[in-house]
Chain A
Amino acid sequence: MAYLLQQLLTESVHRHPDKPAVRARGRSLTYGELDLRSSQLARLLRERGIERGDRVGLFFPKAVESVVAMLGVLKAGAVYVPLDPHAPVRRVAAIAEDCGVRALITTGERLATLPARDLACTVLVSGEARGAEIPWSALETFPAAAPVESAIESDLAYILYTSGSTGQPKGVMLTHRNALTFVDWCATTFRIGPDDRLSNHAPLHFDLSVFDVYNTLAAGATVSLIHEEITVFPQRLAALMEDHGITVWYSVPSALVYLLLHGDLAARDLERLRLILFAGEVFPMKYLRQLADLLPRAELYNLYGPTETNVCTYHRVDRWKLVGQDRLPIGRACANTEVVALDEAGRPVPPGGTGELFVRGPSVTPGYWGDAEKSRRALVDDPRPPQRGERLYRTGDLVTPDEHGEYLFLGRRDSQVKSRGYRIELGDVEAALYAHPAVIEAAVVAVPDPDVGSRLRAFVALRAGETVTGAALQTHCAARVPRYMVPERIEVRTELPRTSTGKTDRTRLAADARLMEAA
Chain B
Amino acid sequence: MLSMDRDARAAIREFVIDRLAPTSGRGDIGDEDDLIDSGVIDSLGIFQLVAFLEERFGIAIGDEEITPENFGSVMAIERLVAARSR
Given A235-B67, A264-B63, the answer on whether A471 and B22 have CB atoms closer than 8 Å is: yes
Partner of B24, one of A255, A452, A471, A478: A478
Indicate which residue in B19, B22, B63, B64 contacts A478 across the interface (CB closer than 8 Å). Answer: B22
Q: Mark A247-266, 1 if CB is under 8 A from B, else 0.
A: 00000000100100011100
Contact status A486-B46, CB under 8 Å = no
Q: Give CA–CA (A175, B74) in the complex, Å.
A: 46
Interface residue? B43 (CB, 8 A): yes
Tell whether B4 is near chain A: CB-to-CB under 8 Å: no
- From B27, B37, B63, give the contact of A475 (CB < 8 A): B27
Which residue of chain B is the closest to A485 with respect to CB atoms?
B23
State whether A478 touches B68 (Cβ < 8 A): no
Q: Which residue of B lies closest to A487 (CB)?
A: B23
A240 to chain B, nearest CB (A): 13
B23-A233 in contact (CB<8A): no
The distance in angstroms between the C-alpha atoms of A255 and B46, with both chains bound, is 14
Contacting A232 at CB < 8 Å: which of B19, B27, B43, B63?
A: B43
- B5 interface hit (Cβ, 8 Å): no
Interface residues in A206-257 by Cβ distance below 8 A to B read 228-229, 231-236, 255
Cβ–Cβ contact B44 & A236, under 8 A? no
Q: Are B23 and A483 in contact (CB under 8 A)?
A: yes
Q: Is the CB of A263 within 8 A of B44?
A: no
Q: Give the residue among B22, B24, B42 with the most A Cβ atoms within 10 A.
A: B22
> Is there contact, CB below 8 Å, between A236 and B67?
yes
User: Within 8 Å of chain A (Cβ to Cβ): is B18?
Assistant: yes
A24 is an interface residue with CB less than 8 A from chain B: no
Q: Tell whether, in the assembled complex, residue B25 and residue A479 are in contact, meaning their CB atoms are under 8 Å apart.
A: yes
Chain B residues whose CB sits within 8 angstroms of the CB of A88 once the complex forms: 25
> In the complex the two chains form, is B23's CB within 8 Å of A488's CB?
yes
B16-46 vs A: 1/0 string, CB under 8 Å? 0011011111010000000011010111101
- Which B residues lie within 8 Å of A40 (CB)? none
Task: Please indicate the chain A residues that have their CB under 8 angstroms from the CB of B27 in the complex.
Answer: 475
Return B48 CB to nearest CB of chain A, in Å. 8
Could you tell me the distance in whole angstroms from the C-beta of A30 to the nearest C-beta in chain B? 28
Question: Inside 8 A of B47's CB, which chain A residues have their CB?
Answer: 262
Answer whether residue B66 sits at the interface, using C-beta atoms and an 8 A cutoff: yes
Determine how close the nearest CB of chain B comes to the CB of A217; give it in whole angstroms.
28
Which residues does chain B contribute within 8 Å of A479, judged by CB atoms?
25
The chain A residue sitting closest to B50, CB to CB, is A262
Complex: A356 Cα to B85 Cα, angstroms: 56
Q: Given A471-B22, A475-B22, A478-B22, answer yes or no on A229-B66 (Cβ-Cβ < 8 Å).
A: no
Chain A 458-477: CB-based contact to B (< 8 A → 1; otherwise 0): 00000000000001101100
Q: A478 and B23 in contact (CB under 8 A), knowing A232-B36, A233-B67, A263-B63? A: yes
Can you list, as one digit per residue, whether each of A72-95 has a CB less than 8 Å from chain B (1) or not (0)? 000000000000001010000000
Q: Which residues of A sit under 8 angstroms from B71, Cβ to Cβ? A: 232
Q: Are B18's CB and A471's CB within 8 A?
A: yes
Q: Is the CB of A452 within 8 A of B44?
A: yes
Give the distance in Å from the alpha carbon of A326 to the alpha carbon of B42 in the complex. Answer: 31
Q: Are A229 and B68 in contact (CB under 8 A)?
A: yes
Q: How far is the CA of A234 from the CA of B64 in the complex (A)?
A: 9
Question: Measured between C-beta atoms, what is the minimum distance from A112 to chain B in Å?
Answer: 15
Interface centre among A231, A255, A263, A483 (most CB of B within 10 A): A483
| Max chain B Cβ within 10 angstroms of own Cβ: one of A228, A233, A420, A474 | A233
Contact with B along A263-299 (1 / 0, CB 8 A): 1100000000000000000000000000000000000
Q: Collect the chain A residues with CB atoms within 8 Å of residue B36's CB.
A: 229, 232
Given contacts A235-B63, A236-B68, A263-B63, contact A483 B22 (CB under 8 A): no
Q: How far is the CA of A9 from the CA of B36 in the complex (A)?
A: 34
Residues on the A chain within 8 Å of B37, using CB: 229
- List chain A residues, Cβ under 8 A from B39: 86, 228, 483
A486 near B22 with CB under 8 A, answer yes
**Which residues of chain A are within 8 angstroms of B42 by Cβ–Cβ distance?**
232, 483
Q: Are B64 and A264 in contact (CB under 8 A)?
A: yes
Q: Report A-chain residues with C-beta under 8 Å of the C-beta of B25.
A: 88, 475, 478-479, 483
Q: With A and B bound together, what is the CA distance between A486 and B68 in angstroms?
A: 24
* Residue of B whose beta carbon sits closest to that of A480: B25
Tell whether, in the assembled complex, residue A232 and residue B18 are in contact, meaning their CB atoms are under 8 Å apart: no
Q: B23–A486 contact, CB under 8 A?
A: yes
Contacts of A486 in B (CB 8 A): 22-23
* Cα separation A362 to B25 with both chains bound (whole Å): 40
Would B67 and A420 count as touching, CB distance under 8 A? no
Q: Which residue of B lies closest to A452 (CB)?
A: B44
Q: A232-B42, A235-B64, A475-B21 are in contact. List 11 more A-B contacts (CB 8 A).
A: A88-B25, A228-B39, A229-B37, A232-B43, A235-B67, A236-B67, A255-B43, A262-B63, A264-B63, A474-B23, A483-B24
Q: Please list 23 pairs of residues, one from A and one from B, whose beta carbons are closer than 8 Å in the complex, sorted by A's number.
A: A88-B25, A229-B36, A229-B37, A229-B68, A232-B46, A232-B71, A233-B66, A233-B67, A234-B63, A235-B63, A236-B67, A255-B43, A258-B43, A262-B63, A262-B66, A263-B63, A474-B22, A474-B23, A475-B25, A475-B27, A478-B22, A478-B24, A483-B25
